[in-house]
Structure 1
Amino acid sequence: MPEAIELMKEAFRSLSVGEAVVPLRVNLPQPAQNAQTLFMPVYLPSAEVLGLKMVTIFRDNPAQNLPLIHGLMLVMDGTNGQPLALLDAEYLTALRTGAAAGLATDLLARKDATVLAVFGTGAQARTQVEGVAAVRELQKVLVFGRNPENTEDFCIAVRAKTGLKMEGAYAPEQLLEADIICAATTSNVPVFEHRYLKKGVHINGVGSYRPDAREISGQTMQAATIVVDQRTAAAAEAGDIVLPMNEGLLEDAANFVELGEIILGAKPGRISEDEITVFKSVGNAVQDLAVASYLVGKAQKESLGIVLM
């Protein structure tokens, strides 16, 4: 995870200075299957690599004991177009999303933050915990899940991997303990109420990626300093931003700060101990390509993977 967080710094920097070429993703709806498929092309001239990520989201899969998300990441040589590698995008997505949350937390959360609350119990939620734990000394992690059994299983698994103190949270007022919140769910509506937020809390919102879905309330977004992965993508795809804008609670997205701008020193991060900060991410293919190209290079050096001729 620490390596992935370092890779995110360069990814978001390249995005904010305009080096990375990242068109808006293509969203292919499949309403009959309660599903959608996303296609995300990306080009990084500085690294001379091309990438194409394809992800399917079938919302009824978990009820059939199947993964919610399946995906593949194709990496190609940017100088001649030759395919270099095909990677599993399920873990790649979870890893880079957790790393982005870790980076945002490092730049935006209070330095004395010790309590994390996470909403969700899936693969994305696990790497959220790992990403935050890489940048802050956590004393406790509160887990808010819809299913108590899944919540306890999640706590046991993450505790075994990280050694962190994990607790299932079943009352909304428990959120008042949290210094950092990660929302990594498939919910279409806010997963917590603004009244249960403490002063100075930092929030990572990474679960919603459609303009009609949100995990964070308009009241919270209006009260917060908002940082995004990319302004154009956030204004087009992030319901946490689009919906409050439509409700007149937020101004134009041009006013939002990009994470890369904070990395570059062009914009400030947290400016007071009491302000609420939100990092809203819909995910960006530059994150996937940054990690994938690093892994391809490492695999080539160490003779790992399966070579296809």
Structure 2
Amino acid sequence: MAIYLKEDEVASVLDMPLALDAVEQVMAAHGRGETVDYPRQRVRLPSTMTHLLQGGVPGLNLTGLKVYTSAGPKVRFWVHLFDATTGDPVAVLEADRLGMMRTGAAGGVAAKWLARPDARVAGVFGSGWQAQGQVLALCAARPIERVKVFGRNPDRLVTFCAQMSRETGREIVPAASAEETVRGSDVVVTITTSPKPLFDAEWLGEGTHITAAGSNSLARQELSEAVVRRAAVICVDSREVAVRESGDLMPLLEKGRTQPGRWVELGEVIAGIRPGRTSAQQITLFESQGMAIQDIALAARVLERAREGGLGQALPY
């Protein structure tokens, strides 16, 4: 029986440890060549945009898609799952929180594999909905003690830090400037919609890990070319997706200053196929654009818990 899960039902069974494990496992499978994933497609109209990601995870016997629509400030998300053997529909999930958590989990998994083992201080650019997932995942994946957050809205920033402090049990504090956010941070996370770079390359210390999660469009660029050039390791979730969507990498790619063959995929690092960080002094960079298989894998875990709890309503398929 195919079921429909609403946002509150998804939220009631979804937590960050579940998201981290689902994303880590499916990315390892991707690194071994055991999944199918297609880059995002967009339908642009004068007032709306529809975004579509598709993929398949044979290990879960699922194919599926994530679709979301945006019209001005309003965005709506759904994940559709299908049985990979029979083609029968399995579930439809409202996926605003699910997407936020899986995006955060991708950053957390990257920090687990690429940040220095002694990383304790983080700097985060962004204090919105998506930034919540990044902070939750980072604190769950690594023994981070202090997080400095920089945002454009001072009131929202204070509220965000107080909320994240309660949820993580860590010291989450507002940063007074972009420079303060970066200097002294072992991990730097950018999760904004900025069309221009957020900080100077010279502020980065040796051994910093960067997760850039906001630039999933060529109209956005959170990192300068100088920041990217300082990275000894450039890691992406998917090379095929990154060459189409990474506003941070495209300027260097177009000038011949980087090549996709030099980038490692997160799944390759997890699966032990290609190395990630090889020294404490290296600056590492993870460019996160998002993949359908991440949504499918996490939706499958949520669906399992929801069925156990008797949640959802039957769909008339």
- Name the TM tier (shorter chain): over 0.9
Q: Return the TM-score normalized by structure 1.
A: 0.92
Partner of 1:54: 67
Q: CA RMSD in A?
A: 1.5
- Give the structure, 1 or 2, with the largest relative contact order (CA under 8 Å, sep 6 or more): 2
Q: Return the TM-score normalized by structure 2.
A: 0.90
- SS of aligned partner of 2:193: coil
* Structure 1 Cα separation of the partners of residues 310 and 117 of structure 2: 40
Partner of 2:163: 157
Pair 1:246 & 2:254 matched = yes
Amino acid at match of 1:26: Q
Partner of 1:218: 225
Partner of 2:301: 294
Alignment of 1:273-284 (within 5 A): 273-284=280-291
Partner of 1:20: 35
Deviation of 1:302 (Å): 2.6
Deviation of 1:18 (Å): 2.3
* Structure 1 Cα separation of the partners of residues 308 and 106 of structure 2: 26
Deviation of 1:11 (Å): 1.1
Partner of 2:242: 234
Count of aligned positions: 299
Q: Is the Cα contact below 8 Å between 1:212 and 1:243 reproduced in 2? A: no
- SS of aligned partner of 1:134: helix
* Structure 2 Cα separation of the partners of residues 281 and 172 of structure 1: 21
* Structure 2 Cα separation of the partners of residues 78 and 172 of structure 1: 47
2:120 aligned to which of 103, 114, 119: 114
Amino acid at match of 2:264: V
Amino acid at match of 1:183: T
Deviation of 1:211 (Å): 2.4
Partner of 2:13: none
* Structure 1 Cα separation of the partners of residues 41 and 148 of structure 2: 35
Amino acid at match of 1:87: L
Partner of 1:64: none
Mean Cα displacement is larger for which, 2-11 or 281-290? 2-11
Amino acid at match of 1:226: I
Pair 1:98 & 2:113 matched = no
- SS of aligned partner of 1:94: helix
Percent of aligned pairs with the same residue?
A: 35
Deviation of 1:49 (Å): 0.7
Deviation of 1:16 (Å): 2.3
Structure 1 segments, 4+ long, off by >4 Å, are none
Amino acid at match of 1:98: G
1:8 aligned to which of 23, 32, 48: 23
Q: Is the Cα contact below 8 Å between 2:125 and 2:150 reproduced in 1? A: yes
* Structure 2 Cα separation of the partners of residues 228 and 36 of structure 1: 25
Could you tell me which runs of 5 or more consecutive residues in structure 1 were left unpaired when the two chains were aligned: 62-66
Partner of 2:53: 40
* Structure 1 Cα separation of the partners of residues 94 and 311 of structure 2: 14
Q: Is the Cα contact below 8 Å between 1:16 and 1:230 reproduced in 2? A: no
> 1:47 and 1:254, CA in 2 relative to 1: closer, same or farther beyond 3 A?
same
* Structure 2 Cα separation of the partners of residues 23 and 226 of structure 1: 21
1:204 aligned to which of 211, 222, 227: 211
- SS of aligned partner of 1:24: strand
* Structure 2 Cα separation of the partners of residues 7 and 230 of structure 1: 17
Deviation of 1:19 (Å): 2.0
